[in-house]
Structure 1
Amino acid sequence: MNLILLSPDDITADGGATIRDPRRLRHLREVHRATPGQRLTVGIANGAMGRAELTALDADRASFALAPLEEAPPPALPVHLVLALPRPRMLARTLEHVTALGVKKISLLHTRRVEKSYWQSPELEADRIRRHLVLGLEQARDTVMPEVTLRRGFRPFAEDVLPDLLTHRRGLVAHPGMAMACPRNVTRPTLLAVGPEGGFIDWEIERLLAAGCEGMHLGPRILRVETAVTALLARLF
């Protein structure tokens, strides 16, 4: 936890902050080994960051005196990530990784090779998703919460939603065997589509390309989704 992320509910009437949840308290005690009087990096969700003095720490709560927080969070990546819904354990790790890298818009998409049972996973509950996003923000010292949208139908997404998303974005589909290599140092707004384990099926690729996306590859190696997404974002941006 390189940043203590505060929610509006943590802010007290006197302008300080108090946290009570066991995860953050445990991290303060066991990792930071924090003691009253220590100054730590904090940020308010979707707001500014800065340093705050820890004024009290016990088994049930930690209290902070907040000086004016004036540091802006790091810039977001100019990307909307469209990700075929991964296996639940991989989804958790991937959400944390892409959040730490600065992705702010994420669409989780059903495709032919996505197991239908994945959509029943507790990892898709709103509080679980938020927990993974928070972990990514804390790791990267960021405060701006990503927006995650669930897209359970591929055809409605490709035909009704994707064309609008591409109005002001360059669409890129990562898929083995595409002619174009993954671009580098992209600065314009981009939509990046990444398939499931085993990739998109041919019909899905045809629909994505017909909507205006460009196909690209990341080389001859076949990578796990969480590895491929991280490598793609690092190379593109």
Structure 2
Amino acid sequence: MNCILLPAENFSTDKAKIDAMAQVNHVNKVLGAKVGDTLKIGQLGGHLGTATIENMAPDRIQLCNVQLDVIPPAKPDVTVVLALPRPKVLRRLIIDMTALGVRNIVLINSYRTQKSYWQSPMLERLDEFVLEGLQQGVDTIAPRITLQKRFKPFVEDTLPRLMTNQAIVAHPYGEQSFSEWLQSNSSLGLPSLVCIGAEGGWIDYEIALLAAQGCMPVHIGPRILRTEAAVNAILGQWLL
């Protein structure tokens, strides 16, 4: 954790409390903080700042001198449409995309998405993964996450409304690379929507449907990457 994020109800005037055991343990065991030390904190949905440890108990840490005066970093104008991946990969991807500042995340069904993934208990823990990503990226504003189990209706009816600029779909067999696409569209800036498949990528039917809605198929080099590597390689453009 690069900051401790707390819900609004944990604040009172210039005081606050840390009562989530994962955070209490982090302060004690990882930071090794003591009474009088200053912590970097933030209010979920609000501002970032600092606070001083007033007292410590096994299950709670009381803070004083709370100052929340730092605006969280601006989010890039990007929506990621991601074919629902394997549950273990999902956790890492939600954390990474949240830390990178993705504004909207759409988890969608695809031909290569196994039906069992939609019954995974990991989907009930998305808020937990988002919090982990926010604390990693030192942000307070959570991305909007939606689940879409029907590919064709989503692409035809909803996808166009999510585009505020151009859109791309990651495809290892695309004729144009992402860097070439960026150079030829330099006046328009980065795309506002990125579609990334799960392991095995999109099938031709899905690529065609996405392309029909204006998503340009692009590749990111001759190597075929795992989903999490592709996500981070593409979204890294927004950090440059």
Fold conserved between structures, TM > 0.5: yes
Query: What residue identity is the alignment partner of 1:105?
Result: N
The residue correspondences of 1:206-217 to structure 2 (distance < 5 A) are: 206-217=208-219
Pair 236,11 (structure 1): closer, same or farther in 2 beyond 3 Å? closer
What is the alpha-carbon distance in structure 2 between the residues aligned to residue 133 and residue 143 of structure 1?
10
Pair 66,170 (structure 1): closer, same or farther in 2 beyond 3 Å? farther
The residue correspondences of 1:79-228 to structure 2 (distance < 5 A) are: 79-125=78-124, 128-166=125-163, 168-183=164-179, 184=182, 187-188=189-190, 190-228=192-230
C-alpha RMSD over aligned residues: 1.5
Query: What residue identity is the alignment partner of 2:80?
Result: L
What is the alpha-carbon distance in structure 2 between the residues aligned to residue 84 and residue 199 of structure 1?
9
- TM-score, structure 1 length as denominator? 0.94
Q: Which consecutive unaligned segments of at least 5 residues does structure 1 have?
A: none
What is the alpha-carbon distance in structure 2 between the residues aligned to residue 236 and residue 37 of structure 1?
38
What is the CA-CA distance between 1:34 and the residue it aligns to? 0.9
Q: C-alpha deviations, 1:110-131, integer Å up to 9, x for none?
A: 0000000000000111xx1011
SS at match of 2:55: strand
What is the alpha-carbon distance in structure 2 between the residues aligned to residue 97 and residue 8 of structure 1?
24
What is the alpha-carbon distance in structure 2 between the residues aligned to residue 2 and residue 236 of structure 1?
21
Name the % identity.
41
Query: Structure 1 residues 151-160 or 61-70, which shifts more?
Result: 61-70
What is the CA-CA distance between 1:169 and the residue it aligns to? 2.4
What is the alpha-carbon distance in structure 2 between the residues aligned to residue 42 and residue 192 of structure 1?
31
What is the alpha-carbon distance in structure 1 between the residues aligned to residue 234 and residue 228 of structure 2?
10
Query: Is residue 235 from structure 1 mapped to residue 231 from structure 2 by the alignment?
Result: no
* Contact residue 182 and residue 235 of structure 1 kept, 8 A: no
- Per the alignment, residue 24 of structure 1 pairs with 23
What is the CA-CA distance between 1:23 and the residue it aligns to? 0.5
Query: What residue identity is the alignment partner of 2:210?
Result: L
Looking at secondary structure, tell me which structure has more strand per residue: 2
- TM-score, structure 2 length as denominator? 0.93
What is the alpha-carbon distance in structure 2 between the residues aligned to residue 60 and residue 193 of structure 1?
43
What is the CA-CA distance between 1:66 and the residue it aligns to? 3.9
* Contact residue 46 and residue 143 of structure 1 kept, 8 A: yes
- Per the alignment, residue 6 of structure 2 pairs with 6
What is the alpha-carbon distance in structure 1 between the residues aligned to residue 126 and residue 137 of structure 2?
17
SS at match of 2:178: coil
